[in-house]
Amino acid sequence: MSRAPGGPAPVALLTRVRVRRALHVHRRVTGLIEGHYRSIHRARSVEIDDLREYVPGDDVRDIDWKASARGQHVLVRRHEATRQHDVVLVIDTGRAMAGLSDAESSKAEVAVHVAGEIGQLATGHGDRVGLIAGPVAGGPRHGAGRFQHLPPGTGDAHLERVLRTVHRAIERGGPPADLPGLLTAAARRLRRRATVVVVTDEAPLTTTTVALLRSLRIRHEVLVCTIGDVVITDLAGGTQVGSVRPAGELPAYLRHRADLADQLRHLAVDRHRARRAELAPLRVASTTVRGVDGVAAGLAELLAAHRHVGS
Instruction: Give me the mean pLDDT over the 172-176 stretch.
Output: 91
8 Å CB contact between 79 and 108: no
Residue 260 has pLDDT above 60, yes or no: yes
23 contacts: CB under 8 Å, gap ≥ 6: none
Calculate the alpha carbon distances from 246 to 37, 97, 272 in Å.
42, 15, 28
pLDDT tens-digit readout, 73-100: 888 776 554 457 899 999 999 999 999 9
Q: For the packed helices 24-40 and 295-310, what is the interaxial angle rounded to 10 degrees? A: 20
83-86: list long-range contacts, CB under 8 Å, 24+ apart.
83/44, 84/126, 84/127, 84/128, 85/41, 85/44, 85/122, 85/127, 85/128, 85/194, 85/195, 86/127, 86/128, 86/129, 86/130, 86/152, 86/190, 86/192, 86/193, 86/194, 86/195
Among 94, 83, 163, 62, residue whose Cα is nearest residue 128: 83
31 against 119, higher pLDDT: 119
Instruction: Say what the pLDDT of residue 262 is.
Output: 77
42 against 286, higher pLDDT: 286
Instruction: Say what the pLDDT of residue 2 is.
Output: 40
Calculate the alpha carbon distances from 98 to 105, 245, 255 in Å.
10, 11, 22
8 Å CB contact between 118 and 223: no
* Region for residue 158 given its phi and psi (left: phi exceeds 0; alpha: psi -120 to 50; beta: otherwise): alpha
pLDDT tens-digit readout, 236-248: 544 444 444 334 4
Residue 179 has pLDDT above 50, yes or no: yes
> What's at 121, amino acid-wise?
L
Phi, psi of 80 (to 5 degrees): -90, 125
Per-residue pLDDT band at 265 (split at 50, 70, 90) = confident
Instruction: Say what the pLDDT of residue 190 is.
Output: 94
The overall average pLDDT reported for the chain is 80
8 Å CB contact between 213 and 285: no
Separation CA 301–CA 36 (nearest Å) = 9
Among 309, 299, 292, residue whose Cα is nearest residue 87: 299
DSSP string over 33-97: HHHHHHHHTGGGEEEEEEEEE--TTS-GGGB-HHHHHHSSS-EEEEEEESS--EEEEEEE-SGGG
In terms of CATH, what superfamily is 13-41+85-310?
A: von Willebrand factor, type A domain (3.40.50.410)
Instruction: Say what the pLDDT of residue 139 is.
Output: 57
Instruction: Give me the mean pLDDT over the 127-154 stretch.
Output: 82
Q: Where are the domains of the chain?
A: 13-41+85-310, 45-82
Calculate the alpha carbon distances from 79 to 44, 63, 95, 110 in Å.
9, 12, 42, 31
What is the model's pTM?
0.76
